[in-house]
Structure 1
């Protein structure tokens, strides 16, 4: 659930869903690693925690579907988009499968090559 300053920040678009994911803990869904930056006009008597875990309000049918999907090995839930509907903040959640080991190695090889290429062009 969101605090007041978080809702105001969301309305201003001060949210980053990069690297965030959804955890299932004790039969509840939690949004982890989501960065909500406090506004400059936020109250000084509160200490805003920008990256705390936030509980997602889901109905029982949605939650059981997500729990069944995540129980399979290699799958995780990631937030794709945040939008407003009837004055409430909503998050679109997707089921994603992690990369296999050979895919990770190929990505790492490409990243190393791009880094080496940038280093070569920088010197010339």
Structure 2
């Protein structure tokens, strides 16, 4: 019986800034069209999604602004462009839903994370609505108050 290959698991990169700047309305899972050196770099975890977004044009979705750092041991005959646009692979129905929603004012499509699903690399994208400055402050206040409550509960449990 042949040994089964171990597939990498877990997140490769997350876009925490998107969670801070947007209200997430709906999430989608998209495949990525990548070249060989990009897959090797992602196995090593060398990716950033900080200012990445999804551009919808001509009936296709493109991941813009993501940065995949090439490995030094990667192929020398291929010129690696770390910030190139990468095609997202989605069903037509999902693309139609995204196109219709992004046309509305205040909505955007952002990349949330890159992760492994068995041996494939997937990108979690989201239909999001931009937060105003006061929304960000409210979210931060709520998070701080939750932390205070958790600390109080923990400290009360230790005293008993």
- Asked whether the two chains share a fold, i.e. TM above 0.5, the reply is yes
Q: Note if 1:64 corresponds to 2:96.
A: yes
Partner of 1:3: 35
Partner of 1:81: 113
Partner of 1:111: none
> Quick one: distance in 2 between partners of 1:16 and 1:61?
28
Mapping of residues 8-87 of structure 1, within 5 Å: 8-87=40-119
Deviation of the 1:86 alpha carbon = 2.6
Deviation of the 1:98 alpha carbon = 2.5
Q: Which runs of no fewer than 5 residues in structure 2 stay unpaired?
A: 1-32, 138-160
- Give the TM-score of the pair, scaled to structure 2: 0.61
Q: Secondary structure at the match of 2:104?
A: coil
Task: Identify which of structures 1 and 2 has the higher relative contact order when contacts are C-alpha pairs closer than 8 Å and 6+ apart.
Answer: 2
RMSD, matched Cα: 1.7
* 1:12-70 Cα distance to aligned partner (Å, 9 max, x none): 11110100000001010000000000011111111100001100011111111111111
Alignment: residue pair count: 104
